[in-house]
Structure 1
C-alpha cells in the first residue's frame, strides 16, 4: 500500500509532509446526503486519519441520483445513511478510523463529538442546524466549510473563527432564496461543484496551508453559466451576536431553537420554528410540489402520507405521524 497516495504526494502543496498531516487529522461531517457522502469519500480516499459522520436520515431511492455512496439495496433496506456510508467507506479505505452516528445534530449531541475535531464540513439541509453549528463552532474555535446547493446553483465559504465573517454575518449580506430540492429539484453536477470547493478547502486546512485558502464566497449557476466570487470581508460585524466583540451565541439558547412536540392522541407533531414563515411565499414554492389549499389563516397540503398545515404565526402541524424525526424531515424538505 506504499504507493496508495503517490499521486497526491507528487502534488507539491501536499507532498510527503502534507500527507503525514492528513493522516493525523480528524474531520467531522454533519449530514451524509448529497454533500456529505462525496466529501466523505474524497477524504477517505485522501487518507484522512479519522472521520466522524452524523446523519439522522435513511437512504431513499430518490437519493441515488446524486448521493454517490449509496446503492439500490441500501434504499430497499432503508439503511441509515451514516451506517451505509461507513460500510462503503471502510471498503474503500480500511485504514481510516470511521465513526458513524445516526442522530440529530443539536448543541447537546454535537458538543461531545468536537473534542479532538480539527474541522467540520457543513453538509446539512437546513439553516436551523447551520446557525446552531455557526454559534457552536465559533464558541469552540473550530473552522468549518459552509456549502449549499439547489437546482443548478450552489455556494461555499470557508469560515475561520475570529478571522473571517461568520454565517450570521454572511446571510445579513447574501440573500438566500429558501428553495429546496423538493420544490425546484437539483442536478448532480451542482452538488459535485460545491463538493469540489469544500473538499479542496478541507485539504488546505489539513496540510496547514492557510495562505492558499479561498477568502471569498463562491456562488454559481451551472445551467445559466454564472460563476462569481464575492469579497465578503466587510460583512464581518463588530456587533454580530456570534463572532462580534461580545458574542452571545443566540442559537445555542433554548429560546432560539425550533420547538417540536407530539400532540397527544392526534397522530400529529407540532413544529414552532425560530423564525417567521411567510405563507404567500411558501405557497408559491409548495405549488411546485403539489396542490396547496389556502384561506386567510393557514395553508395546507398533502405530502409523503402526511397532511401539513402552516399558520401565520409560523407554526406547522404535521398530521399522520407521531415521529418527531419524520415530522422534521417533512418540514425541512418543504420549508428549507
Structure 2
C-alpha cells in the first residue's frame, strides 16, 4: 500500500468540518481504556480503532463462546472453537484492522487495584462491562483521577449511555436511585444486536468529540432508548449532582474502592468452590428467584427455605437469601464471577 493510500485512511472524518485535522490529531494522541470486551466493548474498540485513536487498552476476564458471535463483532467461529480469551482475540483482529495504532490486551478480572494500574496516561474510560459492581469501581477511579468516562449498557431491546465528566457532571453514584439503571443481563433477558449498535454509536460519537477537543458538542443528557418499542428519551440529570456524594462531592471518600463496598470472591479451600458475596447485604425472595431461574431454562432448580440451587454444566450455583452464592466446579475466581453475573447482573 502506498503512502498516499495510508494518508487518506481518515480523510472522510477529517473532511467533516466540525471535526477536521485538529480533531484527528487529538485522536491520534489519545489513549482509551475499554473495560470489557463483550458486545459493547468490541463495538467500541473497532469503531475507535478505525477512527484512529492512538492507543487502545482492552481488559476482559472471559473467553469467546458461541453465543457471543450473534453480537460481538470482532470474533469468529475459530475463536469460539479455540475458546480464546476475548481480550487476546480482539487485539489480534484490531491489529488487522489498523496496524498503525497501539493495541494492549489484558486478560484479567479487573478490580480496583488492577484498574488503577491500567489508568496510567489514559484520557478516557469506556464502559463495556456487564455488572454494576465494576461500573461503580470505574466511577470512583474516574473521579479520583479526574478521567472522563462513558457509561453504557444494553439488555433486551433497551440501551442507555451517559458521558461523565469529573467535576462537571453528576457521577454514576449520584444517579443511583434517580434513573432506571436496571439489573437484568443478556443471559436473563436476551439482547438484540441493534441495541448494542446504538449504544456503541452514541458512546463513540461522544468519545471522538471529547478526544478531538470538541467538548462543546458533548451531549449533556442521559440517553435511553428501546429499539423494539420505538422509544427514545433524553433525560436532563444535571440536578442529580449531589454535594454530599461520597464519590464526587465536596469531600469524596470513593466508597467503591473499599473492600467493604465491593463484591468479594473467595476460593474455599479444598472444595473446588468459589464464594461470591455482593457489595452490601441483600434480601432475595427465594421463591421468585427460583421461578425466574426456571423460566430462563437453568438446569434443575431446587429450593428450600434457605437457598436456591441449580446446575448448568460444568457448574452448580447455590444462592442464599442474603445474595451470597457458592459456585461449585471451579476454583477460578474469574470464571465463577462470570457465571454469577450471567444470572445476577
TM range, smaller chain: over 0.9
**Corresponding residue to 1:114 among 115, 119, 140:** 119
Q: Which residue of 1 aligns with 2:3?
A: none
Aligned to 2:214: 209
1:229 and 2:238 correspond: no
Q: Which residue does 2:194 correspond to in 1?
A: 189
Alpha-carbon distance, 1:277 to partner: 4.9
Q: Helix, strand or coil for the counterpart of 2:170?
A: coil
The residue aligned with 1:27 is 32
TM-score, with length taken from structure 1:
0.97
C-alpha offsets along residues 211-234 of structure 1, whole Å, 9 cap, x if unaligned?
Answer: 100011111111011110101111
1:292, distance to aligned residue in structure 2 (A): 2.9
Question: Is 2:60 the counterpart of 1:61?
Answer: no
CA RMSD of aligned residues (A): 1.2
- The answer to whether the Cα contact below 8 Å between 2:284 and 2:322 also exists between their aligned partners in 1 is no
CA distance in 2, matches of 1:141, 1:153: 29
Are the counterparts in 2 of residues 282 and 335 from structure 1 also a CA contact under 8 Å? no
Q: Where do residues 1-336 of structure 1 align in structure 2 (5 Å cutoff)? A: 1-275=6-280, 276-280=282-286, 281-289=288-296, 290=298, 291-336=300-345
SS of the aligned residue for 1:139 comes to: helix
Q: Shift in Å at residue 288 of structure 1? A: 2.7
* CA deviation after TM superposition for structure 1 residue 293, in Å: 2.1
Task: Write the distance in 2 (CA, Å) between the matches of 1:250 and 1:174.
Answer: 20
Secondary structure at 1:11 match in 2: coil
Gap runs ≥5 in structure 1: none
Give 3-state SS (helix, strand or coil) of 2:59's partner.
strand
Cα distance, 1:113 vs structure 2 = 1.7
Q: Cα gap change, 1:176/1:296 in structure 2, threshold over 3 Å: closer, same or farther?
A: farther
Within 1, Cα distance between the matches of 2:289 and 2:248? 31
In structure 2, what is the Cα distance between the partners aligned to 1:18 and 1:118?
Answer: 15
For residues 237 and 176 of structure 1, what CA distance do their matches in structure 2 show?
A: 18
The SS at the match of 1:18 is helix
5+ residue gaps in structure 2? 1-5
Q: Distance in 2 between matches of 1:176 and 1:16?
A: 37
How far 1:255 sits from its partner (Å)? Answer: 1.1
TM-score, normalised by the number of residues in structure 2: 0.95
Residues in 1 aligned to 2:48 and 2:27: alpha-carbon distance in whole angstroms: 9
For residues 308 and 31 of structure 1, the distance between their equivalents in structure 2, rounded to whole angstroms, comes to 24
